[in-house]
């Protein structure tokens, strides 16, 4: 009997990929699921860092704006209140991502799919910004979140993460 590990083929037949996953409620949590949840939490940390950075430059941005709608002029003080609204919306989204990461760790499938859809949307948005507006992808702008989104997709779309999330489904 050989102790060598057999390499996986670079491609798999569609018949093998279409086979249903095994029903195993006692399946151990795979490393890919843990890595995916940790990457989501890192993406949340990157979002908090972005919000802190925006908060530090917000007063300068607000003073430079000259907004007038239908004859109503917004003073810089009123525009400064906008940071509260931005923090409220962004904070809600970041808290939702934390909750989804916890649910992924607990082995639910729908948060895993929702996180992957969010990552695809984020990657697509970054691509469209680059393509249409010529936005450069730099370390201090979108590179970190783009890299995290790609790694999240790789981790949570793996066969082991899918099998763990669907381990209680009878087929």
pLDDT in tens, 11-32: 777 777 666 666 677 888 999 9
Extended beta strands in 94-137, E state: none
Place of tokens 């990552």: 119
pLDDT in tens, 144-153: 999 999 999 9
- pLDDT at site 139: 78
Place of tokens 């979108």: 142
- pLDDT at site 163: 87
- pLDDT at site 103: 97
- pLDDT at site 113: 95
pLDDT in tens, 107-152: 999 999 999 999 999 999 999 988 998 888 877 778 899 999 999 9
- pLDDT at site 5: 62
Domain extents in the chain: 31-165
Asked if residues 40 and 101 have their Cβ atoms less than 8 Å apart, the reply is yes
**Burial zone of 129 (CB within 10 Å; 0-12 exposed, 13-18 middle, 19+ buried):** middle
In angstroms, the first-to-last Cα distance of the chain is 34
Enumerate the β-bridge partners of residue 72.
69
Torsion sign over Cα 34, 28, 21, 106:
negative
CA separation for the pair 163, 22 (Å, rounded): 8
pLDDT in tens, 30-55: 999 999 999 999 999 999 998 998 88
Reply yes or no on whether the pLDDT at 155 is more than 80: yes
């Amino acid at each position: 009997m050989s102790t060598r590990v057999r390499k996986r083929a670079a491609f798999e037949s569609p018949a093998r990929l279409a086979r249903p996953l095994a029903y195993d409620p006692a399946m151990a949590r795979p490393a890919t699921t843990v890595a995916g949840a940790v990457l989501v939490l890192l993406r949340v940390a990157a979002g908090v860092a972005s919000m802190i950075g925006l908060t530090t430059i917000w007063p300068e941005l607000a003073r430079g704006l000259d907004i007038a709608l239908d004859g109503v002029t917004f003073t810089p003080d009123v525009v400064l209140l906008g940071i509260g609204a931005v923090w409220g919306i962004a904070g809600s989204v970041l808290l939702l991502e934390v909750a989804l990461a916890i649910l992924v760790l607990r082995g639910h499938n729908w948060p895993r799919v929702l996180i992957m859809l969010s990552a695809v949307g984020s990657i697509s948005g970054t691509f469209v910004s680059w393509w249409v507006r010529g936005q450069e992808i730099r370390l201090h702008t979108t590179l970190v979140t783009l890299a995290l989104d790609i790694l999240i997709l790789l981790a949570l779309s793996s066969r082991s993460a899918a099998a763990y999330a669907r381990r209680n489904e009878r087929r």
